[in-house]
Amino acid sequence: MTASSKKNQGAAPPKVPRRLLDGVLLLDKPVGLSSNDALIRAKRLYRVKKAGHTGTLDPLASGLLPLCFGEATKFSQDLLDADKTYEATMRLGVRTTTGDAEGEAIDTRDVTCDEGAVREAMRRFLGDIVQVPPMYSALKRDGKPLYEYARAGQTVEREGRPVKILALEMIACALPDVTFRVTCSKGTYVRTLAEDIGEALGCGAHLVMLRRTGVGALTLEHAVTLDALTAADEPARDTWLRPVDALLSTFPAVRLNAEAARRFMHGQRLPVNELVLDRAACAAAGRVRVYAEDGRLLGVAKAANGVLAPERLVVSGAG
């Protein structure tokens, strides 16, 4: 073997070039994979430099996980704050350490209720409620996640947190299993909701299935699986990317003339009456998505008192 061949044999494989890519991928996360692992796999497939997700799904859970690439990461907080919709199945009569099927059973009771009693119990949880976060959660106490205390066999005091259940309906009832659909505010633990319904029925419960079907205005209908992405070539994968403003569809749209767009991209506050083409969208105070005359997304702004104040800008203009 020559010296040059020995040198080549020990050489590291060439680095795969990363792409500057802006967009939103609606991923259908499978059961058994963490949200971070799903993000890493998608990031590798797309070869993007910058990526992030919009709120975690437990490994036990499947369903909609919007992933943000490039400039879209600037707007991920809007989805973190958005309402979520889930389909879930709870099993009555058994409580577990984690509140779901991953934990060990710690309490078993007879299920003596009927479907009518379950419906009545579920109705009590509609609207504004207070939840005590589970010990097996990523919330922190003194800089350490609660699940670390739980794994060490410790329980710490947790304050109840206000959340809102906007919709809660039964899909199927084959006792002891009950499948339901819930739309809830950010910070809601569906595991805890199932446990609390079980306690209201006097038999306890834990979650055996959880699938997220909606995040804000985004739905599972147009999501793609990792298997499908892996099997596709790069041009086909790119067709599943949605534009950055898919995250902002609930905001009114405002177009700026050329001079206003220039000033907006320099972070300047704009008088609505002079520079904004769509003044009606700024009539009510609130956040708006801002476009140039040619349809490029420029960012988001807050409209108030006749002024458009930039909040976050799309630097690349790829929108």
Q: The whole model's pTM is what?
A: 0.86
> Domain boundary residue among 215, 230, 259?
215
**295 shares its domain with 189:** no
Residue 1 has a pLDDT of 54
CB atoms within 10 A of CB 277: 12
d(CA 228, CA 270): 45
CB atoms within 10 A of CB 169: 12
Q: Is residue 8 a part of any domain in this protein? A: no
Number of domains, the chain: 3
Q: Is residue 10 a part of any domain in this protein? A: no
**210 shares its domain with 224:** no
DSSP-assigned letter for residue 317: -
**233 shares its domain with 283:** no
Q: Is residue 318 a part of any domain in this protein? A: no
Active site residue 58: yes
Under 8 Å between Cβ of 211 and 15? no
**96 shares its domain with 208:** yes
d(CA 130, CA 134): 13
Q: Kind and range of the H or E element at 80?
A: helix 76-80
**152 shares its domain with 227:** no
**91 shares its domain with 27:** no
| Phi, psi (rounded to 5 degrees) for 186 | -60, 150
Identify the sign of the CA torsion 44, 46, 52, 53.
negative
**132 shares its domain with 201:** yes
Strands 62-69 and 205-215 turn out to be: parallel
Those residues with Cβ within 8 angstroms of residue 193's Cβ, 6 or more apart along the chain or in another chain: 125, 131, 165, 182, 184
Domain that holds residue 73: 18-82+218-246
**88 shares its domain with 154:** yes
Residue 241 has a pLDDT of 95
CATH number where 47 lies? 3.30.2350.10
Under 8 Å between Cβ of 227 and 41? no
Query: Does a cis peptide bond (omega within 30 degrees of 0) precede residue 252?
Result: no
Q: Is residue 179 a part of any domain in this protein? A: yes
Write down how long the chain is. 319
**167 shares its domain with 137:** yes
CATH number where 277 lies? 2.30.130.10
Residue 317 has a pLDDT of 46
What is the radius of gyration, based on Cα positions, of the chain?
24
**78 shares its domain with 123:** no
Those residues with Cβ within 8 angstroms of residue 41's Cβ, 6 or more apart along the chain or in another chain: 226
> Domain boundary residue among 198, 215, 232?
215
Residue 46 has a pLDDT of 95
- Which residue is catalytic, options 22, 28, 37, 58? 58
d(CA 171, CA 191): 17
From first to last of its 319 residues, what are the pLDDT tens digits of the chain? 555 555 556 556 566 678 889 999 999 999 999 999 999 999 999 999 999 888 788 888 999 999 999 999 998 888 888 899 999 999 999 999 989 998 899 999 999 999 999 999 999 999 999 998 776 666 667 677 666 766 767 676 778 899 999 999 999 999 999 999 999 999 899 999 999 999 999 999 999 999 999 999 999 999 999 999 999 999 999 999 999 999 988 888 888 888 889 999 999 998 877 666 666 666 666 888 999 989 999 999 998 888 889 999 998 644 4
